[in-house]
Structure 1
Amino acid sequence: MKKLLTVTLAAVLASSSMGIATAATAQSREYRQDRHDRRDDRQERREDRREDRADRREDRREYRQHQREYARWQRAERRYNAGRYQRPSGYVSRQWAYGQRLPASYRTRAYVVHDYSRYGLRAPPRGYQYTRVNNDVVLTAVATGLITAVIAGLFN
């Protein structure tokens, strides 16, 4: 009888300790799963932020490209009469292109196009001006004379 009581007591103790262990294991599993879920949520939010950043970067890139659409060289859609053109003395007629520097004698008031809207031109960006050269108009930097766009054949 003593043996039976000892075996029963040992079985009860073993099963109760296993129950505690399985409860602790279940809690541990739940904790790990919860932690894993939170980590997945953080990772998804991080990926969303990265996608948003990439979208904004793409938008900025498109905006910059749109700003550059002054087109470095374009043919005028319409021709205007603006009076007789006289080039600066000592200069020969030539074609100007993007990236070249317009001499200072071309950047005087006589050659600057102030009424650009009359000729269907957009307002020049700050620090730039339209300059008439022969029958063309070039968009140049005021300070340096660097040509950023050429509109060919705007004048008769």
Structure 2
Amino acid sequence: MRKIIMLGLLAATVMPGVAQAQSYREARDSQREVRQERRDLQQAQRHGDRRDVRDARADLRDARQESREDWRDYRKSHRDVYRGGNWRAPFRYNQWNVGAQLRPSYYNSRYYINDPQRYRLPRAGANTRWVRHYNDVLLVNVRTGRVMQVHRGFFW
């Protein structure tokens, strides 16, 4: 009985990873199919008649549609990972200015931008962190909570 429960728990933890990999694999395979259909269309344009070209165009259109759907499904199932986590705060939007003092809940590690170079932001100095607040980016002194720099509408 104990082994069955352990196997059930193991299967429950492993299966989501398998499903995610499968959906990514499906999206990549559909892109490969689009490339193949594009080659078939070029071949039909070179050596086929009008009907062959028309059929190849329809096949390419269907393959592109399927690829879009697969990628949309993949992004939907991986939304938090795709967006870099849930950065929306449980509080309302405030327009912060330089010198304002924030409560720690506004600049906790959940809202840190861990890779500022990715967004072409300068490196944060000692005791400062880049923090995302809705679509704004704030440079905050994490010791005092003071806003050092503000970029409004950065993520539009």
Q: TM-score, normalised by structure 2?
A: 0.44
| Higher normalized helix content (fraction of residues) | 2
Structure of larger gyration radius: 1
Q: TM-score, normalised by structure 1?
A: 0.44
